[in-house]
Structure 1
Amino acid sequence: MRFRLKRLSKKRPQRVHIKIQDGQFEIIGMGAWYSYWRDPYHLLLKIPWTGFVFLICLFYIAINLLFALAYSLGGDCIANARPGSFADLFFFSVQTLASIGYGAMYPKTVYANIIVTIEAMIGLMGIAVMTGLAFARFSRPTARVTFSRVAVITPYEGVPTLMFRTANRRRNLILEAHMRVYLMRDEITAEGQFIRRFHDLRLLRNQTPSFTLSWLAMHPIDELSPLYGMTAESLSQTNTNIVISISGIDETVAQVVHARHSYTPRNILWNSRFVDIFHHTDDGHRYIDYKYFHDVLPID
């Protein structure tokens, strides 16, 4: 039995360029190796609503123009259509595609009936697909979680601690909320190999039964912390980036929602603390003033 080996393509592999600025990674030219046009379903779910509506209108007009052209090739095949009127054929296509059928114009030849049959089938499938896409976009759960603009490193119980704040802007309950914090930085292994390494940052409290108002996350910088012994300069030199991921069950829609944020060395303030947002009223109750949510104060 003989086997034929396919020749390997000599085409130069496509590259993905990564721009690093203040520890923040930005992928440039991602379309060079992947195009959303190869995955139209994902494209229609990711683009903004304005782009989605624009593409739907563009497709709708294009398909009706195509069938109007097909009707014109059949000559005088549509009853009550003005001779040579492309506009009448276009609007007849609109009526057929949407199954409106006013009755003023109708096919009168076998050729026209065949085109009408094809267009009616495409119209049914198109409505089903567009309805499914619109429902998928409307039903996709989202979280409205705000993160403080900066993170601070301040003493807590005698230990330097990384802190940042989050708040649930919807004021509903996010049940069984979990927070994960990762530190990413450039490192050189013992073999001299460059690597972008991920480290888990341990939090004093990484979950809560209900995330309603605010959440102050704290990571103690002790001997076990990847941040131990690091300075603002070393964070910048190693392109350190701190990534936060929150997930939980939205009580309103009973679906899992996610939120993500990152801090670069420029967004980490040393020897600073957050301004307190919890206050007491004269009658002994408490309230939260979100006006100071992002404010910090230096520590002497």
Structure 2
Amino acid sequence: MTRSLREWFKDYRLEQRSHKKRVVTKDGRCNIKFGNVMHRNRFTYVLDFWTTLVETRWRFIIFYFVASYTLSWFIFGLLWYWLARSNGDLLWQNPPPDHNPCAYSLNGMTYAFLYSLETQGTVGYGNVYVTDQCPGGVALIIIQMIVGLFIRIFWGGIVITKITLPKKRAKTITFSESAVICPKKGTLCLQIRVANLRKTLMIGSQIYGKLLRTTITGGETNILDQVSINFMVDAGKDNLFFVCPLTLYHIIDKSSPFFDMAVDTMHQQDFELVVFLDGMAETTSSSCQVRTSYIPQEIMWGYDFLPIISRSKEGKYRVDFSNFTKVVPVPTAHCSRCYHNEPGNHLEGTDNKSFEVFDMELPNCNKM
């Protein structure tokens, strides 16, 4: 029992350490912290209040929603109370029998608040109502109805916008937990698998990547130096027909930053491969971006993905997602230079001569 708890704690620490050193998490969130932001720059968040509210968490949206309505009811309740007091309608003012009130039965602040709520919510219980003998009351009820209408429109727009955010559509796009390196079509390739969990297409899908690493040039340290990584499928790299899971591959040639890496030095490198998929949802016509990242420990050298698309006897195509994370060892050179017979290789032979299929589950990776 003690040993299992110790192993669990060790795996948890490794997972947290892997999470902290990422720029982009496995689920696409940017792990960036801003510091020493000037106060005048923070004020821009208030000026762009619409975007600020749309990006606010739901619990704060609900709080602001309730607070805005309650505050408006209270403010207009004060105005109704002030109007009734100015006209001498309150009971403690002892109005004469022939007195023409602005609002019947508005005898205190509680009645004023309830009348404000009934007016703005168009409830109209009938106990308290405005008369035609008070122009100020008629003007105030018009103003409150207009203000209440704008509040409903504003919060309705906020809720609809948050519900239809493209980020929700991006949740149904999933990447493989790890990448693999193996031969493909006569060259060495880095491969990633991506799947669309909905039957609706992502129109105009494009896939690309960025390799983030720290470089030193001329004595100057460049943190998060970005190198473009091109990905493609058999039909090209733009306007993907994303109706079924796709295997994306990056050709490791002399122009690739992975060309000088090898199976025994890959996990010693310090880099992060961020993969982007841009597209437009077919149902809402809203563009969205899906992101994920891979660190060296999540790139498996000498393995290939198992096929997941088959055809039934009835002629229908079937996608077996049980093989989505499964890989199989394949004969692969230890380095790209070895594969292309380039000088400078330090190892000879092949890796992974056993051919046992297993499920590719990495305990040190963040789950999507």
Fold-level similarity (TM above 0.5): yes
1:89 aligns with 2:98: no
Q: CA deviation at 1:45?
A: 1.4
Give per-residue Cα distances to partners, 1:227-281, cap 9 Å, x unaligned. Answer: 2213578767764221222222333234433322222233222333223323454
> What pairs up with 1:14-33 in 2 under 5 angstroms?
21-22=21-22, 24=24, 26-29=31-34, 32=37
Q: CA deviation at 1:101?
A: 4.0
Q: How many residues are treated as equivalent by the alignment?
A: 281
- CA-based RMSD: 3.2
Aligned counterpart for 1:181 among listed residues 209, 217, 226: 209
1:202 aligns with 2:211: no
1:216 aligns with 2:247: yes
Instruction: Note closer, same or farther for the CA distance 1:266–1:140 as it changes in structure 2 (3 Å cut).
Output: same
Q: Which residue of 2 aligns with 1:290?
A: 321
Q: Which residue of 2 aligns with 1:10?
A: none
Any idea what SS the aligned residue of 1:26 has? coil
1:275 aligns with 2:302: no
Conservation of the 8 A alpha-carbon contact between 2:207 and 2:232:
no
1:163 aligns with 2:194: no
Conservation of the 8 A alpha-carbon contact between 1:22 and 1:239:
no
Conservation of the 8 A alpha-carbon contact between 1:183 and 1:199:
yes
Instruction: Give the counterpart letter for 2:214 in structure 1.
Output: D
Aligned counterpart for 2:146 among listed residues 121, 126, 138: 121
Q: CA deviation at 1:163?
A: 0.9
Conservation of the 8 A alpha-carbon contact between 1:154 and 1:161:
yes
Q: CA deviation at 1:195?
A: 4.4
Any idea what SS the aligned residue of 1:118 has? helix
> What pairs up with 1:254-273 in 2 under 5 angstroms?
254-273=285-304
Higher Cα Rg, which structure = 2
| Alpha-carbon distance in structure 2 between the residues aligned to 1:263 and 1:60 | 46
Conservation of the 8 A alpha-carbon contact between 1:242 and 1:264:
yes
Conservation of the 8 A alpha-carbon contact between 2:103 and 2:137:
no
| Alpha-carbon distance in structure 1 between the residues aligned to 2:150 and 2:311 | 60
Q: CA deviation at 1:21?
A: 0.8
Conservation of the 8 A alpha-carbon contact between 2:23 and 2:31:
no
Range with bigger deviation, 60-69 or 228-237 = 228-237
Any idea what SS the aligned residue of 2:230 has? coil
Aligned counterpart for 2:61 among listed residues 35, 52, 76: 52
Conservation of the 8 A alpha-carbon contact between 1:241 and 1:265:
yes
Q: CA deviation at 1:123?
A: 1.6
Percent same amino acid among aligned pairs?
A: 24
Aligned counterpart for 1:79 among listed residues 96, 103, 116: 103
Conservation of the 8 A alpha-carbon contact between 2:175 and 2:195:
yes
> What pairs up with 1:59-74 in 2 under 5 angstroms?
59-74=68-83
Any idea what SS the aligned residue of 2:297 has? helix
- Structure 1 gap ranges (5+): 1-18
Instruction: Give the counterpart letter for 2:127 in structure 1.
Output: A
| Alpha-carbon distance in structure 2 between the residues aligned to 1:212 and 1:29 | 39
Q: Which residue of 1 aligns with 2:127?
A: 104
More strand per residue: 1 or 2?
1
